[in-house]
Amino acid sequence: MRKAKKFLFVFLAMSLIVYLMGCSSSANKQQTGGSREKPYIAIISKGFQHQFWQAVKMGAEQAAKDYDVEITFEGPETESQIDKQVEMLEAALSRNPDAICIAALDSKAVIPLLEKAKEKNIPVIGFDSGVDSDIPVTTVATNNVAAAALAADKMAELIGGKGKVGVIVHDQTSITGVDRRDGFVNRIKEKYPDIEIVDIQYGGGDHLKSTDIAKAMIQAHPDLKGIFGANEGSAIGALNGVVEMKKVGQIVVIGFDAGKQQKDAIREGKMSGAITQNPVGIGYKAVEAAVKAIKGEKVEKEIDTGFYWYDKTNIDSEELKPLLYD
């Protein structure tokens, strides 16, 4: 009888161990994507500090609903935190997603991790800002060179084709920063010989830092006629600098992106106008491209989501209303 009880005890103990191991294995599979009910797409943006990224997130969430996939959407606190974004990408890779969407803060820093994704057969979708690699299946973005060139044309028109201009860019490490800077600068050099770009500075997309940059530009060049801010934070900083230096109406401010502050400034006549993208469309198309890549379907190498100029004359038009996010 004692032997039977001992055998029963051992049998139950072994059964419990096997059961727990099975649970652990199942949990591990769930964590790494081995038994997900839906495809999982990890989305890593440049940040959360601007309304632009919230609009991109909204588009991604709508696509996730339409295509019945799961997504996570994250980004560092500021667009200067390249190391933080790399850590987020590394963490995303450890979850073995079915696809990754990345808006790279640094076009080179993420490449080693994208190579790991390729080794794991995880398709990579670039959005908003590409990388210096052919690993991404596609890049979903605005044609930033052409968009910034349009901003340069508008600047030239508004300052009468001559004078001194300053440029404030969010960074010189991302494709968007480089393309918007070069698109604006090159158009001015090519078409407007009487316009001089006297300074190009980088504010990390931070309002306060960009404000200080704008004020320093104005102090260094009292006859400055215009400032171009290459993203939302840069544009608001340029605007704040002009306001604080009491130069409203004397210095033309042109921005990039939308958001409430820029829209209010344009309606009030403090900012002349801006280029808006289609952030909701960028988020939606990034997820859509990821779904196609997961299924092995053909995806275009570049997906252009368009851009538009808006100012006081068309800011409330039906055409632009969906693109001017709050």
Question: What are the structural domain ranges in the chain?
Answer: 40-142+279-306, 144-276
User: Is residue 21 pLDDT above 50, yes or no?
Assistant: no
Q: pLDDT tens-digit profile of 215-243? A: 999 999 999 999 999 999 999 999 999 99
Residue with more model confidence, 55 or 34: 55
**pLDDT score of 142:** 94
Q: Among 175, 178, 134, which Cα is nearest to 301's?
A: 134
User: Is residue 48 pLDDT above 90, yes or no?
Assistant: no
CATH number for the segment(s) 40-142+279-306: 3.40.50.2300
**Is there a shared CATH topology between the 40-142+279-306 domain and the 144-276 domain?**
yes
Q: What fold does the segment set 144-276 form as a domain?
A: Rossmann fold (3.40.50)
Confidence class for position 12, pLDDT limits 50, 70, 90: very low
Beta strands in 262-319 (DSSP E): 273-276, 302-304, 308-311
Mean pLDDT over each residue of the chain, to the nearest integer: 90
- CB–CB of 145/304 below 8 Å? no
User: Is residue 321 pLDDT above 90, yes or no?
Assistant: no
Exposed, middle or buried by CB within 10 Å (0-12, 13-18, 19+), for 120? exposed
